[in-house]
Structure 1
């Protein structure tokens, strides 16, 4: 019978593969075996956020806080869930409490600003200015204008997900058109008027692999990235695309550039790439830890299934001290812990 740690590891793999529902199921099984693990509640909360189950995610975070009041991630994830439910005031309170407890975690600063930007200023509330009533002709013009509908976005290594916060949209009333760098979302009628959102994307996507899902509280459009790069923003211009380079891409000597059609399948020397990352870390490249993380994200995004399995297995079994891309080497035996010289390894699960 699988242990809680093993179930949690399997859930993590499902989360990386973006099967969030299966991840939730495995985290739930792990909690049934060991209900005292605050980290598993946090993991399940994150998976539920991805599924749009924000109230359940917030409840998971509350339980994690009961088990460990010093769990910074629980505060961040609960605040995120409340923000997505449009409970901005409550989210702000959670982020401020987290900032008070964990001053070194700079992520709270951005979330607090984001919440404050969405809340009305105290001055605007106290003044309560009178809004002039439009003339009959003006009322007709207002009725024909598109409804104000908010949208949000996030990204994974391989996809960009755009969320349109419109409730109870019917399939027959929705039209989503995706091109290489364009996204158009048309809701023919929403609260008495049409909604027409147009985005000129910062980078290219694969239109034929886009997916649209309807939820009670939103419309979610999942776009497949054409390149394994981190998008700094959702929208851009044609000129910006030409100057963008994939982040943390390893430099390739000019003479070693492979010659192949852009549509061809090809293999990479993963050991060579891993060696280059090690060298970059040793030489302290300017991008620092952020650049290294971006490189590994690209490495994983472009990897074959066996390479991904090798990376997950080696990293998990070695406690984060080994990252192998060779499945034939690590697939048949446990991966040993190899801490850096001068450091002692302390066991940490999941």
Structure 2
């Protein structure tokens, strides 16, 4: 019974019905509490709903039952990463890497991301503030009194809120890292060439973050934002599928990357330096290279690579077609696979039979 509920939960997950999937996983766990695979899949469903605390809790429970569950280490690490606990996330990814024979979860790159964020936090530490004090020196009992000048305290350093941005072929996403922001304390204005965030800080001081003009026009009607526990995520729809070189620019042509493949995209950040994630990714891939595989091993590795690099629709198509066809069909075309159940197609000369248990 628990296995049936687990499979139904997986089906709902494939169709992106994450709330329903969580309900089914929970029902399955009520029947069989010692299933680390169910905890692990529920953790991923929580992650899709951006419930990162629950993600970490379920992944940790899965690891308590099975300390070699590579998938659970990845779930735990990503949850901690989005909770901005980069030190603990790095530890989870490093542990997962030890148990991973073939790294389909890209642990080395995640570790490098954590290290970059840890460095960024160290370099972006708060500025110490102090009041100047005059020192009066005397040369003995006969020294003449010296006039002590009262120095004017420096103006308080205005707080800054970190932000970063990245892009997909269709959207530009800006993350404003303001923890525990209340809905009424944030006003987000999205226009054709402008993004403005008016915030109220914990000390009730107003704070404005403005990007104008944006490098290229966006579609405000198809754009949105979400206020999360750790940040405000603004998702702006590109009017054209252009590769942005910068977030803000007066000159649209200068801000356009005509050949993105030859211009590696650096990891976006509000710091004074950037990290080239394409370069880090290549370094990680070099570290992971092993002896060339042949035969079924090479084919299996190819399928894993297609799945890892594929879009969400590609992954759904592969999972649905493989599951429904009993492993006889593997398709990446969601437009075709999503319309109906995938039929079993055994190899030529073979016959598919159902076995009664």
Shared fold by TM > 0.5?
Answer: yes
Deviation digits for residues 183-225 of structure 1 (CA, Å, limit 9, x no counterpart): 4333144544514153887887542122333344432334456
Instruction: State the 1:91 CA deviation.
Output: 1.8
Higher helix share: 1
The residue correspondences of 1:244-283 to structure 2 (distance < 5 A) are none
Which residue in 1 is equivalent to 2:115? Answer: 116
Q: Is 1:196 the equivalent of 2:209?
A: yes
SS of the residue aligned with 2:160?
coil
Give the TM-score, by structure 2 length.
0.58
CA–CA distance in structure 1, aligned partners of residues 131 and 33 of structure 2: 59
Q: Is 1:210 the equivalent of 2:208?
A: no
Which residue in 2 is equivalent to 1:316? Answer: 323
Kept in 2: contact 1:162–1:222 (CA 8 A): yes
The residue correspondences of 1:110-189 to structure 2 (distance < 5 A) are 110-119=109-118, 133=130, 139-140=154-155, 142-143=157-158, 146-151=159-164, 162-179=174-191, 183-189=195-201
Instruction: State the 1:314 CA deviation.
Output: 3.1
Deviation digits for residues 107-136 of structure 1 (CA, Å, limit 9, x no counterpart): 222222222233369x99xxx9x9573668
Return 5+ residue gaps in structure 2 as ranges.
133-150, 262-301, 351-357
CA–CA distance in structure 1, aligned partners of residues 48 and 42 of structure 2: 10
Q: Paired residue for 1:57, among 51, 55, 58? A: 55
Instruction: State the 1:44 CA deviation.
Output: 1.9
SS of the residue aligned with 1:208?
strand
Instruction: State the 1:55 CA deviation.
Output: 2.2
CA–CA distance in structure 2, aligned partners of residues 29 and 330 of structure 1: 27
- The 1:141–1:175 alpha-carbon spacing in structure 2 relative to 1, beyond 3 Å, is same
Return 5+ residue gaps in structure 1 as ranges.
247-287, 302-307, 343-350
- The 1:62–1:182 alpha-carbon spacing in structure 2 relative to 1, beyond 3 Å, is same
- The 1:225–1:338 alpha-carbon spacing in structure 2 relative to 1, beyond 3 Å, is farther
CA–CA distance in structure 1, aligned partners of residues 41 and 172 of structure 2: 21
The residue correspondences of 1:44-123 to structure 2 (distance < 5 A) are 44-102=42-100, 104-105=102-103, 107-119=106-118
Give the TM-score, by structure 1 length.
0.59
Instruction: State the 1:317 CA deviation.
Output: 0.6
Kept in 1: contact 2:6–2:38 (CA 8 A): no
How many pairs align?
281
Which residue in 2 is equivalent to 1:272? Answer: none
- The 1:27–1:202 alpha-carbon spacing in structure 2 relative to 1, beyond 3 Å, is farther
SS of the residue aligned with 2:84?
coil
- The 1:67–1:56 alpha-carbon spacing in structure 2 relative to 1, beyond 3 Å, is same
- The 1:30–1:160 alpha-carbon spacing in structure 2 relative to 1, beyond 3 Å, is farther
Which residue in 2 is equivalent to 1:221? Answer: 234
CA–CA distance in structure 1, aligned partners of residues 69 and 202 of structure 2: 41
Which residue in 2 is equivalent to 1:10? Answer: 11
Larger of the two Rg values belongs to structure: 2
Which residue in 1 is equivalent to 2:343? Answer: 335
CA–CA distance in structure 2, aligned partners of residues 340 and 233 of structure 1: 51
Instruction: State the 1:57 CA deviation.
Output: 1.0
Instruction: State the 1:21 CA deviation.
Output: 3.1
SS of the residue aligned with 1:213?
strand
Instruction: State the 1:182 CA deviation.
Output: 5.1
